[in-house]
A and B are shown apart, each in its own frame.
Chain A
């Protein structure tokens, strides 16, 4: 079953923070996060494998709460380059089901 992302879209100014949520009605064992810029292929950001684990690099991080069956992606001090559509994916690496996506637009 497809995970549900929220919000569907968000508009930010440079330097502002954003949170994108991903929730599932089924038990989660891992969560992937990808970013897709307009006209390009999705690019892998990170995978979270353990409950409560928070991973990230630079100003993009994520958390994973097994009990709540949800993950959140945190974008801190947004840059113009963060614009794009963010997808979460759940399941094992073979059968990976993506959410419907969250479109993020960062304005100067």
Chain B
């Protein structure tokens, strides 16, 4: 089944403890992206990648890191999480430059930083 898989689905952590949220897609998509969703603010883009080793900042990149060493994987790294990073995170992927194709989203990761 074509899908974007995020892990974990739920995570509670403490301030300052490094964590990684994994994202993997099995559709051979070039584009991958991370979004965070907060009430009243909609979906805000953190980072995106247009292919292996090609990443760029979205609108809210502060406090986050990403890497794209393989086409299928795009992990989101929080080096020193803070409570303001408590949010619902979505990973998404898309075919590059194909008319009619939008993003396929993962199921989401609900992160709580205490």
Interface membership of A104, Cβ < 8 A: no
Distance between Cα atoms of A44 and B97 in the complex (Å): 16
Whether the Cβ atoms of B56 and A42 lie closer than 8 Å is no
Point out the residue from A47, A95, A100 that lies within 8 Å of B58, measured CB to CB. Answer: A95
List A55-69 residues whose CB lies under 8 Å from chain B. none
> How many A residues have CB within 8 A of the partner chain?
23
A44 and B45: CB pair below 8 A? no
Instruction: Please name all residues of chain A whose beta carbon is closer than 8 Å to the beta carbon of B45 when the two chains form the complex.
Output: 95-98
A99 within 8 A of B: yes
Residues of A within 8 A of B106 (CB): 41
In contact, A93 and B96 (Cβ under 8 angstroms): yes
**A74 interface contact, C-beta 8 A:** no
A60-100 vs B, CB cutoff 8 Å, 1 = contact: the mask equals: 00000000000000000000000000010100011111111
> Could you mark each residue 38-66 of chain B with 1 if its beta carbon is under 8 Å from any beta carbon of chain A, else 0?
00111111001110000010110000000
Which of B43, B56, B59, B94 lies in contact with A87, CB distance below 8 A? Answer: B43
CB of B59 within 8 A of CB of A47, answer no
**Contact residues of A with B, CB < 8 Å?**
2, 32, 34, 40-47, 49, 87, 89, 93-101
9 further contact pairs, Cβ within 8 A, besides A40-B107, A41-B106, A47-B101: A34-B102, A34-B103, A42-B90, A47-B100, A49-B99, A94-B50, A95-B58, A97-B45, A98-B35
